[in-house]
Amino acid sequence: RSSDLAHYMTFDGLNYLFPGDCQYVMVQDYCNDVSGTFRILVGNEGCGISGDKCSKRVTILFENGEIELFNSRVNIKKSVRDETDFEVLQSGRYYILFLGKKITLTWDTAMRISVTLKEGYRDKVCGLCGNFDGVQNNDLVSSNNQIGRA
């Protein structure tokens, strides 16, 4: 989960601040040399006069499709292969995106993004949201298997 000012909480409950300036992998199942099925990227951009970083641009790659969440809009840049595996609902200022039957993303059209995964992804994901294995100590493992600190 990502909230205001680049704060993140992993699937295993670790809270930390990551104010990086580029686009990063929030969560994906392309881990440990395994060919995956989805990737959710987040771009931290300046917010307000203070220059603090806020998660405001989200790119979703799923079933050969590309969906971008930006400027309070859901933009389908490239349709997903099977449109029955993708649904968007709007409730007030929130968008809820269903990616297949195992991934749900909730976005408040500003800075808060929450990704929910079904159990089938346990210990099969990586990125800023951790690896979803029930252990917080290893959530900040980099792509070269170095453990970071919160």
**Number of C-beta neighbours around residue 54 at 10 A:** 21
In whole angstroms, what is the distance from residue 80 CA to residue 131 CA? 25
Question: Could you report the per-residue pLDDT of 34-60, keeping only the tens digit for each?
Answer: 899 999 999 866 666 665 655 578 999
Question: 3-state SS of the chain: helix, strand, coil percent to 5?
Answer: 5, 50, 45
pLDDT at residue 143 above 90? Answer: no
Q: CA 89, 92, 93, 97: dihedral to nearest 10 degrees?
A: -10
Structure tokens at 3: 């909230």
In tens, the pLDDT along 74-88 reads 999 999 999 889 999
Residue 5's pLDDT is what? 59
